[in-house]
């Protein structure tokens, strides 16, 4: 079996039978409850003719976890701001209130220390406002226009878009281990688990144990509890934040259709291998011709 837990809302089902207290009914009744679904490859193979497949369970209503979002702060910590990023931010599709904070504050010259400082200031600004969630889009990430809508629809505590790390072919979405829950450690990139990556692409929405901060939607309840910090190895604060969110038992999920470009210092825009939309592939070919 291949385990991947995901919080879902389910309903206990009881089929009423004629017992003299009412008419016979074919409708199921029962109470709703929250639980964790364990994906099972055997269940998936049964499909519609057998058990309810894991793919169907993921599509179950995950509402009631959060009220719909309306007021969102876009936070872009600036080290090297790309024109494509600004253009993408201006084109985000959203019907609610949307505020944009592009922040440049790198006082030390140490990339890791400045990275942490930027996120700590961004969190402070967020908590001072009435915002319901913070959409992080780092200054070299190029999100699609529907990124915010899709991430909000996941209804997760932290929702991630997909991009490729620089100098690798690894994407930023990490496998979620099943036990213990919450897991003690984040998993490997889904790029290291081709069968999981293919399942995630097929489902579109997939549980994960975190990812990079390049593009993610963080609910207020998370930022009220979790501070940005560096870990003992003095890595960028992405690593410590991911661990803290995981250990806090927050729900994390990836929207595999929010595929983002990642612009390198040489000007090349990298797209996750195998995840390109047709328009991204056309853009890449046009860039090469230039």
Across the chain, where does the E strand assignment appear?
5-11, 32-38, 71-77, 97-103, 133-137, 141-142, 158-162, 205-207, 215-219, 252-259, 261-263, 269-270
Alpha helices in 7-74 (DSSP H): 41-46, 54-58
Secondary structure element (H or E) that encloses residue 283, with its range: helix 278-289
pLDDT of 129 strictly over 90: yes
Question: In whole numbers, what is the pLDDT of the chain averaged over residues?
Answer: 79
Answer whether 261's CB lies under 8 Å from 84's CB.
yes
Cα(108)–Cα(116) distance, rounded to whole angstroms?
Answer: 11
pLDDT of 97 strictly over 90: yes
> What separation in angstroms does the CA of 160 have from each of 71, 115, 120?
18, 19, 20
Answer whether 215's CB lies under 8 Å from 258's CB.
yes
> Within 10 Å of residue 215's Cβ, how many Cβ atoms?
27
Q: What domains sit in the chain, N to C, each tagged with a CATH number?
A: 5-58 (no CATH), 71-278 (3.90.550.40)
DSSP string, 226-242: ------TT---HHHHHH
Is the omega angle on the peptide bond into residue 124 within 30 degrees of 0, that is, cis? no
Pairing mode, strands 158-162 and 215-219: antiparallel
Reported pTM: 0.76
pLDDT tens column, 140-190: 999 999 999 999 999 999 999 999 998 888 999 999 988 677 777 889 999
Residue 73's DSSP bridge partners are 99, 134
Cα(158)–Cα(243) distance, rounded to whole angstroms?
Answer: 13
DSSP string, 105-135: ---SS-HHHHHHHHHHHHHHHHHHS--SEEE
Q: How confident is the model at residue 87 (pLDDT cuts 50, 70, 90)?
A: very high
Q: 1: which DSSP letter?
A: -
Residue 229 makes CB contacts below 8 A (sequence gap 6+) with: 116, 237, 240, 241, 244
pLDDT tens column, 30-82: 455 455 444 443 333 333 333 233 333 333 334 446 789 999 999 999 988 89
Residue at token pair 């109470």: 31
pLDDT of 114 strictly over 70: yes
């Amino acid at each position: 079996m291949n385990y991947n837990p995901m919080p879902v809302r389910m309903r206990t089902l009881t089929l009423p039978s004629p017992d003299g207290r009412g008419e016979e009914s074919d409708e199921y009744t029962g109470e709703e409850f929250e639980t964790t679904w364990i994906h099972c490859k055997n269940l998936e193979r049964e499909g519609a003719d057998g058990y309810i497949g894991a793919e169907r369970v993921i599509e179950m209503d995950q509402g009631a976890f959060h009220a719909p979002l309306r007021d969102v702060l876009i936070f872009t910590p600036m080290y090297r701001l790309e024109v494509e990023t600004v253009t993408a931010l201006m084109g985000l599709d959203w019907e609610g209130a949307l505020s944009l904070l592009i922040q440049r504050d790198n006082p030390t010259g140490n990339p890791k220390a400045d990275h942490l400082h930027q996120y700590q200031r961004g969190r402070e600004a967020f908590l001072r406002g009435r915002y319901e969630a913070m959409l992080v889009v780092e200054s070299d990430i190029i999100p699609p226009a529907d990124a915010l809508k899709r991430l909000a629809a996941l209804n997760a505590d932290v929702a991630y878009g997909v991009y490729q790390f620089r100098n690798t072919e690894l994407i930023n979405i990490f496998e979620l281990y099943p036990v213990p829950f919450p897991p003690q450690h984040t998993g490997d990139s889904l790029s290291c688990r081709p069968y999981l990556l293919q399942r995630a692409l097929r489902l579109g929405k997939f549980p994960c144990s975190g990812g990079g901060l390049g593009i993610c939607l963080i609910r207020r309840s998370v930022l009220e509890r979790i501070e940005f910090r560096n870990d003992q190895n003095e890595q960028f604060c992405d690593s410590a934040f991911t661990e803290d969110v995981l250990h806090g038992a927050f729900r994390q999920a990836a929207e595999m259709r929010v595929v983002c470009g990642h612009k390198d210092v040489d000007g090349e825009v990298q797209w996750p291998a195998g995840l390109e939309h047709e328009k991204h592939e056309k853009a890449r070919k046009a860039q090469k011709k230039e």
